[in-house]
Structure formats: C-alpha cells, structure tokens
Amino acid sequence: MGQQLTMTPQLQQAIRLLQLSTLDLQQEIQEALESNPMLERQEDGDDFDNSDPMADNAENKPVAETQESSFQESSTSAESLEDGEWNERIPNELPVDTAWEDIYQTSASSLPSNDDDEWDFTTRTSAGESLQSHLLWQLNLAPMSDTDRLIAVTLIDSINGQGYLEDTLEEICAGFDPELDIELDEVEAVLHRIQQFEPAGVGARNLGECLLLQLRQLPHNTPWLAEAQRLVSDFIDLLGSRDYSQLMRRMKLKEDELRQVIELVQSLNPRPGSQIESSEPEYVVPDVIVRKDSDRWLVELNQEAIPRLRVNAQYAGFVRRADTSADNTFMRNQLQEARWFIKSLQSRNETLMKVATQIVEHQRGFLDHGDEAMKPLVLHDIAEAVGMHESTISRVTTQKYMHTPRGIYELKYFFSSHVSTAEGGECSSTAIRAIIKKLVAAENQKKPLSDSKIAGLLEAQGIQVARRTVAKYRESLGIAPSSERKRLM
C-alpha cells in the first residue's frame, strides 16, 4: 500500500489558469472560445441564468422537447422582431449617395480631420523603432558616395543601444575588403558625419566625446558653453570623482560659477540612444481593485478584465445520453470540457479574491500611510489564513496586480522580510527602504549621509540594521554612494 498524488486534467487546468496573468488569461479564454463550440461569451445585459441544460431533470425528456427548451431563450430576440422590423433594420441595398462616414461612424470618428496638423500618424500606427533603423533613415537622406555609404552602414551596425560606438576605428577599417582600399581617415570622416545625426551625441567613442557633441549643437550664446566644453574635454575624470576643489583651481572658477557649468553639463543626456524607443509598450491590467468606503477597505475583482463565459444552451441541447455516435460523443466531451473550464475560472477568481482580501487586511497601514507603514509579510502567513499551500499563494501572487489609491502594485510587492526592532517588534524591509529613501532625499547635498550614518539614524528609530544591509537596500533603490551624491550648493 502507498500514497500518491494524481494530477487529473481538471487539476492541471486549474493550476495552469491560476498562474496566468490577466493578459495571458484573456488569450487563453479566446482560444477556448474558438476551439470549443459549447462555450460562449456572456455579454452585458444578458439576464438569463447559466443553469446546466444537461441536468438530470431534463435527461429523460424527448429530444424534441430538449431542443425546444434549449432554443427558447436564445431565440427570444429573433422572435420578438416582426418581418417589417427585420426589413427595416437590414435593407436590401444601401442608398447610392450614402457616405462612408454615415455607415461606419466608429471607424471614421477615429481618423483625424483634414485640417488637423497636430495629428501624427506614426505615433498611432508605427511599432517601436530601433536606433539603427533611425540612423539608417537619416543616412538615406544624406548625399554620399557608395564607398562612404558602405562605411556609414558598417559604423551604424557598431553603435550599441545607448548610442556609443563599440568597435574602434582601426577594427572597423581592418574589417573591409582590402580591394576597396579604405583608409582610416575615410572611416573617421564618415564617423564625423554620423555624429551630426539625431539624437545628438550618437556615435561617440566615450562619455566625454558624447557630451562634447551635444554641447557643440547648442546655440553659441548659451551661458557657460565654453567652460562646459573645456570641462568635458579635459576634466571629465575630476567631474566623475566629484573633486570640486581641484576643478575650481584648475579651471579658475568660483564655486557659484562652477555650479552653473556643472548644471549645464548635467542637462545633457549621457545615453543618447535611449531616446529611441525600440520595445513595444507593456500594459498592466489590474486583477483586483481596492477602494475605501466609509473608513473600510473594499476588495473586488476587476470584472472588465475577465470576460464571463457560459455553456451554449443551443448546442448543449443536442447532446443525448444514450447516443454513442461519433458526433454525440464529440459534443459530450466538448460540453464536459466547457464545464471544467468555467469551473476552473471560478476557482481562480475565488482564490484570487481570498488572497487579495487577506493582503489588504495585513497591509492596511500601507494603504493609509504609505511604504513606511508596510508590515512584514511572508507567503506562509497568507497560506495559513486562507487554508492553502504556499505554492498556491505563490502562483496567485505572480503577475497579478492590485489597483489601489496609491497606484498599481504586483501582489508580491506586499510581501517582505522583517527586521527586529529595539522594542521587540518587527519592521519590514520595504518600510526600511522607504525610510532610507526619505533620509537621502532630506540630506545635505554638500555632506551626504554615508551608509554608517544611515544605519545610526535607523538605530535611533529603534531599527537595528547593519551597514552592509543599508548598502544593499540603497543599491536596490538605485541610490548612488555618498561620494557620488555630493553636490555643489
């Protein structure tokens, strides 16, 4: 004798639907609707129930009565229309002088008028453009010889996504056919032409050259332009190390003057290629909506994100119990799969609702006061509260999003480890990150807080965190070290 877990098809389907995101679930539902004739979408306004047409009280009825009862509600709208109404709604032919906009108002209304100069066709229809395609488009407009165009195409292929030239000019020149007799000066001359393309600073070989190219495209009457060009050309290393005293001495500038020069340099883009968006936008559809009503937090599923399904009563009425023909067997299997699919969707929604409700119960402080009030929470806490396994909670909280008055968050965002406090309590890592971010935002930019100083300030609030832990949290927030945060006032 022994014990084993059998994964039935129904259980496998329920688990698979449970871990799908909303967008993936919509695609899965659409595929099920296309492959299973027993499934249909329940539109808004339909008031009939989704009772099983194959219930036991209808099994012994004659086939004609079963079909008649199954057709009754689905054909109500058709029977309510008289012949005159049908002819009035669907004419034999359209009038000859009918305009396109009169018939297809939805399509025509989405198009701009002829005098709409602000409407941009590419912003609504074009996919993400890569930096290479953007540069090649400008290259096609530039007059060049065939040899120079070949060099330009090779240079553009060597530019990375941030806009910098990855290969050296010597390597690029050595890669050409020796019969073309291309010299290094020709490659450099073509590179200078590419560096005049948009975005400004593209094709640079280092950061200093990138910033210098952008400064050269600014108007000549820009304040502190000459000093900024000298700064990025000769003293870029000192600027990176934030050695302001050395910069003031070498450039013979006062503190206020150097501050204005640095502000001009900081207005430039060190990654010009990032301006060209090459990826498609990703949209997040919230699964759960949380709102406050009379000092109570209410949790509800986003009904607009998940379409409602039902069994098609018309097709289900054709299924007969004692018939073993191939057609009847096919319809019976499709009916059973439709029932399983609808039940799996209901189970997914119920589980998601239970987990989201428990998360809101634990994190009321976050909803009321923000990240600093986030409480420590792990999967085991929610699993015990809803009576499920931790693996199930992990599937439910992956790629599921909650819409709150503070924004849209993934359900996993509300889970965090804990750190002990001096009073014997616990503080979540998310709250500690929020406190660190608040301390850095309020620090003196001339004397930024070090990791040890931040750890001391946290300890003064009763939160005992090591310096290495503070450094880890600071890096996860994208905050630079104190030596790089130093500014001139």
pLDDT tens-digit series, residues 240-276: 888 888 888 888 888 888 888 888 988 998 888 888 7
Name which of 138, 157, 158, 144 is nearest 205 in CA terms: 158
For residue 419, pLDDT over 80 is answered with no
Q: For the chain, what is the domain count?
A: 2
- Contact 384/393 with Cβ under 8 angstroms? no
Q: What is the pLDDT of residues 5-38, one digit of tens each?
A: 666 777 777 888 888 888 888 888 888 888 888 8
pLDDT of residue 290: 92
Q: Which of 279, 296, 312 is the last residue of a domain?
A: 279
Residue 392 domain-assigned (yes or no):
no
- With cut-offs at 50, 70 and 90, classify the pLDDT of residue 54: very low
CATH of the domain at 466: 1.10.10.60
Q: What is the pLDDT of residues 75-88, one digit of tens each?
A: 343 344 444 443 44
Give the domain range for residue 138. 129-279
Residue 59 domain-assigned (yes or no):
no
Residue 109 domain-assigned (yes or no):
no
Residue 219 domain-assigned (yes or no):
yes
Residue 202 domain-assigned (yes or no):
yes
DSSP result, 179-207: GG---HHHHHHHHHHHTTSSSTTTTBSSH
Q: Which of 229, 261, 279 is the last residue of a domain?
A: 279
pLDDT of residue 215: 92
Residue 116 domain-assigned (yes or no):
no
Helix (H) / strand (E) element for 69: namely: helix 63-74
pLDDT of residue 289: 92
Q: Which of 279, 312, 336 is the last residue of a domain?
A: 279
Mean pLDDT of the chain: 78
- With cut-offs at 50, 70 and 90, classify the pLDDT of residue 423: low
pLDDT of residue 279: 61
For residue 412, pLDDT over 80 is answered with yes
Q: What is the pLDDT of residues 115-150, one digit of tens each?
A: 445 444 444 444 557 888 888 999 888 888 888 889
Neighbours of 459 (CB within 10 A): 13
pTM (2 d.p.): 0.60
Residue 48 domain-assigned (yes or no):
no
- With cut-offs at 50, 70 and 90, classify the pLDDT of residue 354: very high
pLDDT of residue 485: 77
Residue 141 domain-assigned (yes or no):
yes
